[in-house]
Structure 1
Amino acid sequence: MTTIAFIGLGIMGSPMSVNLVRAGHTVTGYNRTPDKTAPLVEAGGRAASTIAEAVVDAEVVAVMVPDSPDVRDVLTGIDGVFNHAKPGALIIDFSTIRPDVTAELAGAARARGLRPLDAPVSGGEAGARNATLSIMVGGEETDFQAARPVFDAVGKTVVHVGPSGSGQTVKAANQLIVAANLQALAEAVVFLEAHGVDLDAALDVLAGGLAGSAVLAQKRANMVTRSFEPGFRLALHDKDLGIVTSAAREAGVALPSAALVAQLVAAANAAGDGALDHSALLRGVERLSGRLRE
Structure 2
Amino acid sequence: MRRGTWYHVFYITNNCKRYQFMNFKIGIVGLGNMGESFSACLNKAFILKAYDISPEVREKKGKDLNIVGSLKELHQQSDVIMLSLPGSPQVERVVEDLLKMGVSGKTIIDLSTSYPISNQKLSEKVTEAGGRFLDAPVSGNKETAARGEVITMVGGEKGVFEELLPVFNHISSKVNYVGGPGQGNTMKIAIVYLSVMNTILSAELIPFMEKMGMDTSLYRDMVGGSGGNSKNFMNYSKRMIEHDFHRAYKIDLANKDLGYMQQLFADVGVEGILVDAGAAFLKRAVKEGLGNSDIAEMVRIKRNEYELED
TM over 0.5: yes
Contact 1:175/1:240 (<8 A) preserved: yes
**Counterpart among 260, 272, 275 of residue 289 in structure 2:** 272
SS in 2 for 1:164: coil
Q: Distance in 1 between matches of 2:227 and 2:60?
A: 40
The Cα offsets for residues 112-150 of structure 1, whole Å up to 9 and x where unpaired, read as 211100111122334323332222211000111112122
Q: Distance in 2 between matches of 1:154 and 1:224?
A: 33
1:35-46 paired onto structure 2 within 5 Å: 35-37=56-58, 41-43=62-64, 45-46=65-66
Does residue 68 in structure 1 map to residue 88 in structure 2? yes
The alpha carbon displacement at 1:213 in A equals 2.3
* 1:291 counterpart letter in structure 2: L
Corresponding residue number in structure 1 for 2:126: 109
Does residue 249 in structure 1 map to residue 274 in structure 2? no
Does residue 6 in structure 1 map to residue 28 in structure 2? yes
**Counterpart among 11, 19, 26 of residue 41 in structure 2:** 19
The Cα offsets for residues 138-170 of structure 1, whole Å up to 9 and x where unpaired, read as 100011111212211222221111111111211
The Cα offsets for residues 8-48 of structure 1, whole Å up to 9 and x where unpaired, read as 111211111111123x11221111223434675454x3011
Contact 1:58/1:85 (<8 A) preserved: no
The alpha carbon displacement at 1:91 in A equals 0.7
Corresponding residue number in structure 2 for 1:263: 280
Change (3 A) 1:63 1:252: same
SS in 1 for 2:26: strand
1:1-294 paired onto structure 2 within 5 Å: 1=21, 2-22=24-44, 24-37=45-58, 41-43=62-64, 45-77=65-97, 81-84=98-101, 87-291=104-308, 293=310
Q: Distance in 2 between matches of 1:38 and 1:154?
A: 24
Change (3 A) 1:12 1:107: same
Q: Distance in 2 between matches of 1:209 and 1:133?
A: 29
The alpha carbon displacement at 1:84 in A equals 3.7
Larger Rg: 2
Q: CA RMSD in A?
A: 2.2
- Structure 2: which 5+ residue stretches go unaligned? 1-20
* 1:25 counterpart letter in structure 2: F
Contact 2:203/2:240 (<8 A) preserved: yes
Q: Distance in 2 between matches of 1:39 and 1:196?
A: 50
Change (3 A) 1:41 1:189: same
* 2:130 counterpart letter in structure 1: G
- Structure 1: which 5+ residue stretches go unaligned? none
Moved more, 83-92 or 99-108: 83-92
* 2:197 counterpart letter in structure 1: A
> What TM-score results when the alignment is normalised by the length of structure 1?
0.89
SS in 2 for 1:12: helix
Q: Distance in 2 between matches of 1:270 and 1:286?
A: 16
Q: Give aligned-pair identity as a percent.
A: 27
The Cα offsets for residues 170-217 of structure 1, whole Å up to 9 and x where unpaired, read as 112112101111012222321343345554454345334433323234
Contact 2:103/2:126 (<8 A) preserved: no
Larger helix share, 1 or 2: 1
Q: Distance in 1 between matches of 2:161 and 2:60?
A: 28
The alpha carbon displacement at 1:100 in A equals 1.5
Contact 1:56/1:85 (<8 A) preserved: no
Q: Distance in 1 between matches of 2:37 and 2:154?
A: 20
